[in-house]
Amino acid sequence: MTRQPVHFYQVGSFAVGNRLLSSDDRTVQSQRERTNSIDSGHRACQGCGEALGARYALDAAMRATNGHVVAVNATGCLEVFSTPYPETSWRIPWLHSLFGNAPAVATGVAAALRVKGKSDVRVVAQAGDGGTVDIGFGALSGMFERNDDVLFICYDNEGYMNTGVQRSAATPPAARTATTDAVGPEPGNVFGTGKDLPRIAMAHDIPYVATATVADLHDLERKVERAMEIRGARYLHVLVPCPLGWGSASNDTIHIARLAKESGLFPVFEAENGTVTSVSTIRRRVPVEQYLSLQRRYGHLFGKSPRPDIVARIQAIADNNIARYGLVDDATESMEVNT
Amino acid sequence: MLRQIEGSRAIAETVALCRPEVVCAYPISPQTHIIEAVGAMVKSGKLAGCEFINVESEFAAMSVAIGASATGARAYTATASQGLLFMLEAVFNASGLGLPIVMTLANRAIGAPINIWNDHSDAMAARDAGWIQLFAETNQEAADLHVQAFRLAEELSVPVMVCMDGFILTHAVEGVDILDQESVDSFLPPYEPRQVLDIDEPVSIGAMVGPEAFEEVRYLAHLRQLDALERIPGIAQDFKELTGRDSGGLIRTYRIDGAEIIVVALGSVLGTIKDAVDNRRELGERIGVVGITTFRPFPSEAVREALADARQVVVLEKSFSTGFGGVLSTDVAMSMRDMDFDLRTVIAGLGGRAITRRSLEEMLKQANDDALEPLTFLDLDQGAVERERARMRSVRRSGPSAENLLRDRASSAAAPTRRDV
Amino acid sequence: MDTPFAITLGVGTSRANHTGSWRVERPVYVDRLPPCNNACPAGENIQGWLYEAESGNYEAAWRTLVEENPLPAIMGRVCFHPCETACNRVQVDEAVGINAVERFLGDLAIEKGWRLPASGPDTGKRILVVGAGPAGLSATYHLRRLGHHVRLVDSAERLGGMMRYGIPAYRLPRATLDAEIDRIVAMNVEVVLNHVVHDIEEERVAGNFDAVFLAVGAQLGKRVNIPAGDSSKVIDAVTFLHQVAHDDPPLLGRRVVVYGGGDTAFDAARTARRLGATDAVIVYRRNRERMGASGEEVEQALGEGVSVRWLSTVNRFEGEHIVLEKMRLNDEGFPEPTGEFEELDADALVLALGQDTDLSLLEHANDVTVHDGAVSVLPSMMAGASGIFAGGDAVLADRTATVAVGHGKRAAHGIDDFVMGREPTEKQRHELATFDRLNTWYYADAPRTRRPELERIRRQTNFEEVIGGLSEENALFEARRCLSCGNCFECDNCFGVCPDNAVIKLGAGERYEFDYDFCKGCGICVKECPCGAIEMVPERI
Amino acid sequence: MFQVRFHGRGGQGVVTAAEILSVAAFAEGRHAQAFPSFGSERTGAPVVSFCRIDDREIRTREPVMEPDALIIQDATLIHQVDLFAGLVHDGYALVNTSRAFTELGFDQTSASFRQDRLITCPATELALEHLGRPLPNAALLGGFAALTGQITMEAIDTAVKERFEGAVGERNAAAAAAAFDFVTSRVKELARASTD
């Protein structure tokens, strides 16, 4: 499925809304009657990317299915800030069991719906990166392998933020966390570690794998919609900046997510049946410094004793992503910056 | 219909009669024959309206059951031993969420050393998980308990674990009366969940509950277990009216009238104990037996009443709390706390060691002679233990005890042969 | 559902938790002054009418436009659009083609026959407007809307002033000019043509006018003393263009040199080309960067075969040659003679060195001050306490039609205050919407649409309009390139990006409001607002 | 109560044999309990299974410590396993071999038992003949019925056919019947020999 960007208006496809488009062509988030799957009053930090990502994804799923969605949630920030007794923020049927079992719980929900003749009700499972790439990985791989009818969404904020910012297998190199201190010759998280879950998901040959960020709502919603058109195991990996864990300003959440994509550090693409079918090319390429320098978790790379050598290694990762996925097309190539 | 059938097969067929809607399976001995048979029935279409899901671990098996149950499906799984421990987090979770899952536990020891044979260590490890735990004495009872378990679980919204001795029951072929569908249907109404993921009535299940309400949540769970104590005899009674069989209930007594000594035990060993007791009775020893069918919730009142007139209570257990002693013994002692009697704990059958009638009779004779130690390990090879202890004292790097004991046994068995040569 | 205690919760319960208490700063919606509006000499609400045009509501757009300026079809052709120079979009790709959209709207209004707004209820006040150029026409329009009687007098036989007699037809077709003037006249204006006002005081008293607006323009071409032989043909550009406008063009020969660097010089040179000159050469004493004419005009002229001698002055005109002296710019950027000379073949020399105003009619207006040949005015355009107002080229300002239109409007309001006995009011202006407040990521990459130009070869020989209008599609596209600097255009970003759902969307045209019960003050809405229409303010302690 | 212990190797149907015997007893309206030795033995390893038959409910769950009969499916186990452990002194032993019992080298260990109850039967050959595969377990059950009289040949026939459907059941039943006949005649020979 190729995307037809809306060029014909001052904000084109980039802003949330577009008062001149027909209602069907607008984002779910621009609609007053959107579900608000996760409602006001939740206890996420100011500027929480995960709260935003969850609402984006689930509201889109709700529209795509005409409100036939149930959600399963792994333990984590999203779960804790949304459902502290006696208040829940969820406006849709929602089930939380454990940290590492959301994929399997979702399998059970899907199986029950099927056996009950309610296959029109669709299952979305969601977890943070810890619940996805680490503790939930076995269950997730099992769910993928069985091709259960579940859309699994990972809200990736690159660490265990709920427990106080510890390293996960999604923490990027050089990032400081509570368990990868910014000390020693290789400060922060070690290079050469970590898991690339979207690619692992693709290796399962499941029908749909995609990545997205909270900075491109149209892209995210379209991917959720695409995912809901397909039966079987589907995986959506959404980058959600965490002001607390990343040491970024609360108003920078979307900006930073955008820079992650525009620098090439977070490739945005989709794949069907194990093959990449589309990539979101970089529109305004930026050097990784622009992304890194807004985050205190990379503070040790700048400032009084800067580490351009490490920044260069991170740039190399971005360049490698760009080459691997073809993130720069000819038009943007000319705007390429010297790095 | 009464059939000569393997225990596992009888369970599978009975579970199928209970119309489970989602069955998740991860193989572990000695549970395999059960899920294999259920799976075959689903695949062949004999068990319709059921999803059979081969999962990647026991943790996933229980998790799938949680998801299915929370979505209003009747969910079933089976496990044993390490499998139970691997899913234990989800086992606690299922009860915490009040999901009426039924699970067969084919009781087996827990390693290391790895051991696939029967004892009750696994069930005891999950003792405080908030599940109702029922123990079967025979395959007939195991089959019957599953039918009762679904009804009990769903009436109370509490998960139920049916414990049956691994291999000893699961792999034994004996006569079992398999109910017909009509009877099961009349006994077990369709599952009406107390809470369900429903797009027409959305709720959030699994909230985070802080100190302000957690104790109340736990106390409510306790009250529900106490409710179960009330309901279980009634369900057993209904079952008896349906089938004519005594199955389930809280406890089962045998020859306790006038008994001075009463043996308390769980599971299939009760049969061997009864044979031993019959023999001792013939010798004039006044011994009776109490079998605990409902272990959790613990039927303290019923136990207290059954043991009230005993001079000595011998609790025979296939598990124990290392560094302390009996687990069931503790429960029995708590039930009898202000009563005057002697309590003896006999640990037996660990890791599949055969509990023979002969050893039991010797033990009972000692009990009758008031010569039984407070904590006795039946058929313990004291010599092997002493030799290993000596090795450990003399050599710092003495190696693993399990392997040492095997070597010890091999050399003592081989020794006479060498002399012969 | 009889749900289990505590572990299962019903929807909507979190709304009891008012997370607004976490906030130390609050976002508030603001409106800022867009740079186009700020730069428009006519005081147009450009962003406002572009907003309507974006939606395809062209009549509404036109109505918003003519609130300030009754001559959009004319302005869409002759305005040098400082709005586009100021446009923030210049820093993204290219300025929005405001002028082209304005023309599109103006032309559409003529085509559709849209009428200007009705005149206001009669106030009984009588105003004399002297001069029917852009200033006089603009003042007339606004005065009529305010309900005052207007007598519009002009010395020429037709209305329009310099728009008719100074601007060549290839830039401003006469049908367009007539249509927009007629629309104003139709507002019940008393028009007196071929009438020269010799004494403003006398005229005012005689006509019993409550106020006078003086918009006589600058009709006299400046002459400099250039030695020239008797046979040499020398003419000033104002006269030249005036004669052309009267269909009585002078014979200039094949080689025409125009001296000067303003728009008039280029008008003259391009007109000369159309009259058959093979060589039309502009001589200008400075370089291109310092030239007064608009860049577009220069480009078009060069495209038509007009050539320019930069850094040159006309020293003398000898028979068929003009002697030029080369100049250089000193450190301050002023031209200095070099003493080097060169010759240029020429049949005629057109002087386009500026215009003067004939202010003899003010002789008896004692309270009016004239300085450097221009009338001194207050911000209300009042020139004298007795009710004389002035504007357009007659006052010290940029001499463009658009400035004149602005003067006319301002004078009309000044006159209104004066005749109604009110103190003049100063309008409160919003803070300027500067580029740094924008988040340009959200704007689609959209280079501007060029208006079609006539084939160059045709343009050199006739007076057809050079620049065509936009098609509707292009006009729409161009309107939609507007960034809406500083003013909400309902892109829904704030509504969409709030992690706490604390923005309430009020519906089309109603914008949004914050739900301060839940807004945690993260500031994402401010950062992600494309047009800078939200700002954070500290919570009061 | 009559208790039988089966010896064989993994893959030889030792567990199935015990189960079929229990089904046969069940078919005769008796109580029966069959169970394997519990372990994780692989193909080829020595394995054991048990069957108890009684007229009343069987409660005990202990392994068969003192069998009344042994069915030895693989004679090569003789030198690896203490086959006669616990066998009651008047117990039976049926060994699958084409040789005579006395040729098997049991002399010392089997000397204390009633020699007329120690019988060999070429069950593998009979299986090959009737079944076409070297699976001796059904045949041995026919021999067991002949040797011990604890079960009728009819019940064995029923149980075998219940366990194996169709032609396979028929052929196994035929092998069992052949073994029954073979052992019946051997028992008579031995009876004659002992009275002689």
> Whole domain around residue B321: which residue ranges?
251-377
- Domain enclosing residue C343, as ranges: 228-233+249-352
Tell me: the pLDDT tens digits for C335-382?
889 989 999 999 999 999 888 888 889 888 888 889 888 999 999 999
Q: How far is A66 from chain C (nearest CA, A)?
A: 18
| Chains contacting A (3 or more CB pairs within 8 Å) | B, C
Which one of D15, D23, D38 would you mutate to disrupt binding with B, by most B Cβ within 10 Å of its Cβ?
Answer: D38
Model confidence at C464, pLDDT cuts 50, 70, 90, reads confident
Shortest distance, CA C515 to any CA of chain B (angstroms): 25
| B418 confidence band (pLDDT: 50, 70, 90) | very low
Which SS3 state, helix, strand or coil, does residue C345 take?
Answer: strand
CB-nearest to B167 from D31, D38, D58 is D38
B166 falls within a domain = yes
Confidence of residue B420 (pLDDT cuts 50, 70, 90): very low
Q: Do D59 and B118 touch (CB under 8 A)?
A: no
Instruction: Tell me, yes or no, whether B390 lies in a domain.
Output: no
**Residue B283 domain-assigned?**
yes
If asked whether residues B367 and B284 sit together in one domain, one would say yes
Interval C235-248: pLDDT, tens: 999 899 989 988 88
What's B269's domain CATH number? 3.40.50.920
Inter-chain residue contact B172 with D34, CB threshold 8 Å: yes
ipTM: 0.90
Pair B239, B338 in one domain: no
Over residues A149-158, the mean pLDDT reads: 98
* CB-CB under 8 Å, D19 with B356: no
Residue of B nearest to D25 (CA): B4
Amino acid type, A142: G
Residues C214 and C361 in one domain: yes
Chain B positions touching C2 (Cβ under 8 A) are: 194
Q: How close B207 comes to chain C (CA, Å)?
A: 5
Locate the chain C residue with the closest alpha carbon to A243. Answer: C522
Quote the minimal CA–CA distance from B245 to chain D in Å: 14
User: Could you give the number of structural domains in chain D?
Assistant: 1
What percentage of chain D carries pLDDT values higher than 90? 74
* Residue from C3, C7, C15 whose CB has the most chain B CBs within 10 Å, to mutate: C7
Radius of gyration of chain C (CA): 28
| Res. B421: pLDDT tops 60 | no
pLDDT, mean of residues C253-263: 91
Chain B residues lying within 8 Å of A114, measured CB to CB: 51
Residue B400 vs residue B297, higher pLDDT: B297
Average pLDDT, chain B: 95
By Cβ distance, the residue of C19, C441, C508 closest to A258 is C441
- Torsion sign across C-alpha atoms C86, C88, C90, C91: positive
Looking at residue D190, its pLDDT comes to 84
Q: Which residues of C touch B (CB under 8 A)?
A: 1-11
CATH code, domain carrying C208: 3.50.50.60
Looking at the structure, tell me whether residues B9 and B156 fall in a common domain.
Answer: yes
Q: How confident is the model at residue C444 (pLDDT cuts 50, 70, 90)?
A: confident
C26 and C41, same domain (yes or no): no
Q: Per the CB < 8 Å rule, is D59 touching B30?
A: no
Work out the average pLDDT over B207-219. 96
Say whether D61 and B168 touch across the interface (CB within 8 A).
yes
C-alpha separations of A63 from A95, B249, C505 in Å: 20, 51, 19
User: Mutating which of B31, B120, B174 best tests the D interface, going by the most D Cβ atoms within 10 A?
Assistant: B174
Per residue in C9-39, pLDDT (tens digit) is 999 899 999 999 999 999 999 999 999 999 9
Q: Are residues B213 and B319 in the same domain?
A: no
Does B272 sit within 8 Å of D32, measured CB to CB?
no
What secondary structure letter does DSSP report for C509?
Answer: T
Instruction: Determine whether the interchain pair C505/A32 forms a contact, defined as Cβ–Cβ distance below 8 Å.
Output: yes
Which CATH number covers residue B132?
3.40.50.970
Is residue B415 very low, low, confident or very high in pLDDT (cuts 50, 70, 90)?
very low
Give the β-pairing of C374-375 and C307-309: unpaired
Map residue D102 onto helix, strand or coil.
helix
pLDDT band at C515 (very low <50, low <70, confident <90, very high): very high
Q: Is chain D touching chain A, with at least 3 CB–CB pairs below 8 Å? A: no
In B62-101, the residues whose Cβ lies within 8 Å of chain A are 62-73, 75, 89-90, 93, 97
B224 → chain C, closest CA residue: C4
Are the CB atoms for B62 and B104 separated by under 8 Å? no
Q: Which of B211-225, C191-205, C269-283, C439-453 is predicted least confidently?
A: C439-453
Do B58 and B16 reside in the same domain of the chain? yes
Domain interval for residue D143: 2-195
Note whether B339 and B286 are same-domain residues.
Answer: yes
Domain total for chain C? 4
C450 in the same domain as C401: no
Q: Give the position of tokens 């070429």.
A: D122
Q: Determine which of D30, D61, D81, D82 to mutate to test the interface with B (most B C-beta atoms within 10 Å).
A: D61
DSSP C427-489: PP-PPB--GGG--GGGS---PPPPPPB--HHHHTTS-S-SBPPPPHHHHHHHHTT---TTS--
pLDDT tens digits for B315-368?
Answer: 999 999 999 999 999 999 999 988 999 999 999 999 999 999 999 999 999 999
Of B204, B216, B220, the CB nearest to C8: B204
Query: Do B233 and B258 share a domain, yes or no?
Result: no
Percentage above 90 pLDDT, chain B: 92
Q: Do residues C128 and C203 lie in contact, with contact meaning Cβ atoms separated by under 8 Å?
A: yes
Q: Are residues B255 and B224 in the same domain?
A: no
Residues of C in contact with B209 (CB under 8 A): 6-7
Q: How far is CA C473 from CA A241, C251, C417, C535, in A?
A: 40, 43, 43, 35
C460 falls in which pLDDT band (50, 70, 90)?
low
Count: domains in chain B? 2
**What letter represents residue B299's amino acid?**
P
B173: nearest CB among D35, D39, D59: D35
Ramachandran angles phi, psi of C410, nearest 5°: -65, -40
pLDDT per position as a tens digit, A248-282? 999 999 999 999 999 999 999 999 999 999 999 99
What does the alpha-carbon distance between residue A181 and residue A93 come to, in Å, rounded to a whole number? 40
Task: Let me know if residue C239 belongs to a domain.
Answer: no
Q: List CB contacts (< 8 A) between B69 and chain A.
A: 108, 112
Nearest to A95 among B24, B60, B70 (CB): B70
Q: Nearest residue of B to residue A122 by CA position?
A: B199
Say what the pLDDT of residue B405 is: 84
Binding partners of C (≥3 Cβ pairs within 8 A): A, B
What pLDDT digit, counting tens, does each position of D104-160 carry? 887 677 788 998 899 999 999 999 999 999 999 999 999 999 999 999 999 999 999
The pLDDT tens digits for C153-207 are 999 999 999 999 999 998 999 999 999 999 999 999 999 999 999 999 999 999 9
Which residue of chain C is at minimal alpha-carbon distance from A250?
C522
Residues of B in contact with A85 (CB under 8 A): 207-210, 212-213
Q: How confident is the model at residue A332 (pLDDT cuts 50, 70, 90)?
A: very low
Helix then strand count (H, E) for chain D reads 6, 6
Query: Is pLDDT above 50 for A171?
Result: yes
Is chain C touching chain D, with at least 3 CB–CB pairs below 8 Å?
Answer: no
Say yes or no for a CB contact (<8 Å) between B67 and A110. yes
Contact criterion met (CB < 8 Å) for A98 and B198 = no
Report if residue C432 sits inside a domain.
no
Residue C201 domain-assigned? yes
In this predicted structure, the answer to whether residue D17 has a pLDDT above a threshold of 90 is yes
Judged by CB atoms closer than 8 Å, whether chains meet at D32 and B175 is answered as: yes
Q: Please indicate, yes or no, if residue B306 is contained in any of the structural domains.
A: yes
- Of the listed ranges B401-410, C177-186, D78-87, D90-99, the least confidently predicted one is B401-410
Q: A23-333 in CATH: which number?
A: 3.40.50.970
Both B268 and B233 in a single domain? no
Tell me the pLDDT of chain C averaged across its residues: 91
Q: Give the pLDDT of residue C450.
A: 67
Q: Is residue B399 part of a domain?
A: no
For the segment A2-18, the average pLDDT, to the nearest whole number, is 66
**Confidence band of C303 (pLDDT split at 50, 70, 90):** confident
Q: Are A130 and B90 spatial neighbours (Cβ–Cβ below 8 Å)?
A: no
- Which of D18, D35, D38 is nearest residue B352 as measured by Cβ atoms? D38
Chain C 436-455, CB below 8 Å of chain A: which residues?
Answer: 441-446
